[in-house]
Amino acid sequence: MAFYSQDDSADDYLFKIVLIGDSAVGKSNLLARFARDEFYPNSKSTIGVEFQTQKIEIKGKEVKAQIWDTAGQERFRAVTSAYYRGAVGALLVYDISRRQTFDSIGRWLNELHTHSDMNVVSILVGNKSDLKDGREVSTDEGKSLAESEGLFFMETSALDSSNVTAAFETVVKEIYNILSRKVM
Ligand code: GDP
Ligand code: MG
């Protein structure tokens, strides 16, 4: 099982993590906030980097998270199997102000399980938590879906930065923990 890839230095780990979820839920902005502390108020779904590598230190070791963005492929339901290949982590993102994006999570989970290992460490992310007046999905609904599917859960806001780093780091740390249990 290709659970991780080891870089040139023996102490370096590189984890591929994929962002998935419907168009306009904020995937590209979550990545922009996490990796560059930037936010784009009117971003277009086609704009975005293919992937971005971010260093995270865990227990004195440097871990590189290579985070992949769909860059608009999802609009055509055409996220390729190459996108998922080798992924060890996933953020399944919906928009708390659009119920339809929450209803799509089941389909994204199926797709993830079809194209990747069952052991992909996944977190359900309810983004746009700043849109309090427009909320269509309660925190409890998110929580209980995550519990029933065995996912971590967090509500985030790429706009006000809330929980963005925490969401990515939860996945990276769990991958690291699983890995260190396996090799040590
Ligand atoms: P993607 O298609 O999933 O990559 O979504 P984008 O990152 O392109 O975001 C779609 C739109 O939602 C953009 O206009 C963003 O400015 C906006 N957006 C993204 N994240 C947030 C957030 O946390 N709060 C609010 N209020 N808007 C957001
Ligand atoms: Mg995008």
Ligand 2 centre to CA of 28 (Å) is: 4
Q: How many CB atoms lie within 10 A of CB 10?
A: 7
**Lowest mean pLDDT segment, chosen from 72-81, 104-113, 166-175:** 72-81
Ligand 2 centre to CA of 107 (Å) is: 18
Which residue has a Cα nearest atom 7 of ligand 1? 26
Give 72's pLDDT tier (boundaries 50, 70, 90): confident
For residue 71, what pLDDT is reported? 77
- pLDDT surpassing 50 at residue 76: yes
pLDDT digit string, tens, across residues 5-49: 554 455 578 999 999 999 999 999 999 999 999 999 887 766 656
Instruction: Report residue 1 as tokens.
Output: 């099982």
Whether 70 lines ligand 1, by a CB cut-off of 6 Å, is no
Contact 18, 83 (CB under 8 A): yes
Whether 159 lines ligand 1, by a CB cut-off of 6 Å, is yes
pLDDT digit string, tens, across residues 105-159: 999 999 999 998 778 999 999 999 999 999 999 999 999 999 999 999 999 999 9
pTM of the model: 0.92
